[in-house]
Amino acid sequence: MKVLVTGGTGFVGRAVVELSIERGDAVTVLSRTPERLPVPFRGLAGTAGWEGLDLSGYDTVVHLAGENLLAHRWSPEHKQRIRDSRVEGTRKIVRALEQAEPRPSCLISASAVGYYGPQEDDTFLTEDSPPGAGFLAEVCRDWEAAAVEAERLGLRVVRLRIGVVLDRSGGALERMIPIFQKRLGGRLGHGRQWVSWIHRRDLARLVLFAADHEDLAGPVNGTAPRPERMRDFVRAIARQLGKPCWLPAPGFMLRMALGEGAEVLLTGQRVLPARATNAGFHFEYPELDLALEEILREEVVP
């Protein structure tokens, strides 16, 4: 399979590229920073830039590019970058698909569980659940709407609503591990909010599963089948590291640091991967303890 991956130097993209190459795909990475590609990729993957993008001849386009949500406090400027990197970036991909000949048959476009908005109760959310309210929900709706435009070109479009991706090399755990190692770990906010998580390897596997299965289209939740409450999530991290979990980060402190972006950490969604499961996808890490045991086994220090 000929695959093009946008955001291939990012946290999730690197895992998708590596796994795709491992199984024998011909992978091209579209990135603004191709020099960040790991050395083993250089002889195995082509690189492309956004200028003059030509998507002709690829079988699948995996679109993962997007501004880091919590890289900065949510100023109006950062919120605009969050939106533009997702919505306008996806529109650029669709415009390139219009010009492609032969045209790819599949577009797998990232979205997020933020589509469902902050959840106030314990209801399970599936791909059939309605969109929520708030900035991220609005961005996700527009993001997905931009991707759906590729359907009129005859492509199968998968909108992958990604949860909290777990691996030591990036994302939430990269920030949390040092805090717990210093014995300063604890819950974020009141701790009752849901965390819909997924091991990074399972997410990469799900991306390629979606590429391979022609009957899978539309929204697909990229989360493990057993979401956890924040208080249980951080306790599991502490347990795997052999460290205490005692110092909560109050909501007002997170809001001071991140502004409106703190709501990403202080609210959550109880999401189930109904379509992936029904399509026959098997999670290697369906439970949090199993995922953390694999991820953190090299992090346990006195």
Phi and psi (nearest 5°) for 199?
-65, 140
pLDDT score of 41: 64
Query: For 27-47, how does the pLDDT look when each residue is reduced to its tens digit (9 = 90+)?
Result: 999 977 666 665 556 645 588
Query: For 109-141, how does the pLDDT look when each residue is reduced to its tens digit (9 = 90+)?
Result: 999 999 999 998 999 999 999 999 999 999 999
Helices 135-148/89-99 angle, 10° precision = 0
Domain boundaries, the chain: 2-296
Would you state the CATH architecture of domain 2-296?
3-Layer(aba) Sandwich (3.40)
Residue written as token pair 């109760």: 121
pLDDT score of 236: 98
Calculate the alpha carbon distances from 233 to 22, 239, 242, 264, 291 in Å. Answer: 31, 10, 14, 15, 11
Q: Would you call 203 exposed, middle or buried from its count of C-beta atoms within 10 A (0-12, 13-18, 19+)?
A: buried
Query: For 204-246, how does the pLDDT look when each residue is reduced to its tens digit (9 = 90+)?
Result: 999 999 999 999 999 999 999 999 999 999 999 999 999 999 9
- Residue 33 sits at the vertex; the CA angle it makes with 70 and 170, to the nearest 5 degrees, is 40
CA–CA distance, 29 with 276 (Å, rounded to integer): 25
**Quick count: other Cβ atoms within 10 Å of Cβ 100?**
17
Q: Report the share of the chain in percent with pLDDT over 90.
A: 88
Instruction: Report which DSSP code applies to 182.
Output: T
What do you get for the CA distance between the two ends of the chain, in Å?
46
pLDDT band at 102 (very low <50, low <70, confident <90, very high): very high
pLDDT band at 285 (very low <50, low <70, confident <90, very high): very high
Task: Report, as an integer, the average pLDDT of 150-167.
Answer: 98
pLDDT score of 185: 97
Mean pLDDT across the chain? 94
Task: Report, as an integer, the average pLDDT of 246-260.
Answer: 94
Query: For 67-76, how does the pLDDT look when each residue is reduced to its tens digit (9 = 90+)?
Result: 999 889 999 9
pLDDT score of 47: 84
